[in-house]
Structure 1
């Protein structure tokens, strides 16, 4: 029986995951963020669990990942109080190396620690503006505008300060627990690309990079 359980754990499996994101965008070159700008969003997708050793696996995946931030513009003199929520949606491909440390006698409960790169492609999203401007009510919603950028290039067509670069990339750090087929993980996505169109990655003082905290439930299907 023990040999059968070990063999099952050593086989590749497919899983699904989904959960809550708390997204933000950096506000300066040093990578700082403002906690008041945290924007709730979601993550959902599929992943593979490819064992490399008894306590190590490679987990590539494909996710729908909501990112962005919110900003409040307030001025008593101008009688203005507006919330602006920018919520871009990305198709993201993470590739994490995940250590699985047994913490139960049967090995079915494991501590998960992982890290790896990700690449993402903007596919949609919206900007919502709501509140008062110069005393008048404002409630507007529009689609995210993307430029026609290519990765690692500053010579993009169709740039504009009101647009986002379509490509994002960065690194993930994750930790969690796996209880047989069911797991719960916390993940931090550290964006490395400047997502603000109209500025480059090296010289601009304006460094807008995605920062995303996530908590997700996952389920691994048996073979």
Structure 2
């Protein structure tokens, strides 16, 4: 992950250098962005197993803004995106009049290389709204948390775990639709917000009631201009 972040920063510096060489001849601008993700996994129908809660993560990447009309532009991005959710799950069984329970509390972190392609419209010179598709490619992930076992004939025990996800159970490709807005409060720096709703099922073998990524993002963007 550290290598990926360093790579994105290096790519951003290269884009800045390229922008300095071409800014007199082209209205295209380049930039870098980073921010906070608040994500969740939702099910198309019914309830996803357990109690799903929002999980914090982060995003960081680069973008290029390409004007196509006076107030309209297209902004492709390449972003490291940390998605997933928190899960609280409880099982209880009875055997020979004895009760046994298992309580799971864990986070699922899913790391994607995302490629949003936003169409932006400038309501004001500093204020824009945007919408467009996002294409994601799964890099890996981890489940981290604990399980607590108890029963009327056994002592309460808590065990922590941290495991990489088995990517064989996940689709490598993820597709979503994003909508958002941003405001450049200086010539170079903008505050941004975006919600991306997942369209595709993240699991290979769950064909009914698809599980989808959803994420709300806030952050800062810096354009080299």
With normalisation by structure 2, the TM-score equals 0.77
Residue 155 of structure 1: aligned partner: none
Moved over 2 A (4+): 27-36, 74-82
Is the 8 Å Cα contact of residues 50 and 88 (structure 2) preserved in structure 1?
no
Query: Counterpart of 1:114?
Result: 130
| Residues matched between the structures, number | 190
The aligned residue for residue 143 of structure 1 is 164
Q: Is 2:210 the counterpart of 1:194?
A: no
Q: 1:189 to 1:13 in 2, by over 3 A?
A: same
CA deviations on 1:183-202 (whole Å, 9 max, x unpaired) are 111101111001122123xx
Shift of 1:73: 1.8
Alignment match, 1:210: 213
Q: Determine helix, strand or coil for the equivalent of 1:68.
A: strand
TM-score by length of 1: 0.77
- The 2-side partners of 1:142 and 1:184 are apart by 35
- What's the secondary structure of 2:135's corresponding residue? strand
Q: Structure 1 or 2: larger strand share?
A: 2
| Mapped partners of 1:71, 1:65: distance in 2 | 20
Q: Is the contact between residue 26 and residue 33 of structure 1 (CA under 8 Å) also seen in structure 2? A: no
Aligned to 1:182: 189
Aligned to 2:179: 173
Distance 1:34 1:131, change over 3 A: closer
Q: CA RMSD, aligned part only?
A: 2.4
Is the CA contact (8 Å cut-off) linking 2:48 and 2:211 kept in structure 1? no
Show the counterpart of 2:88.
72
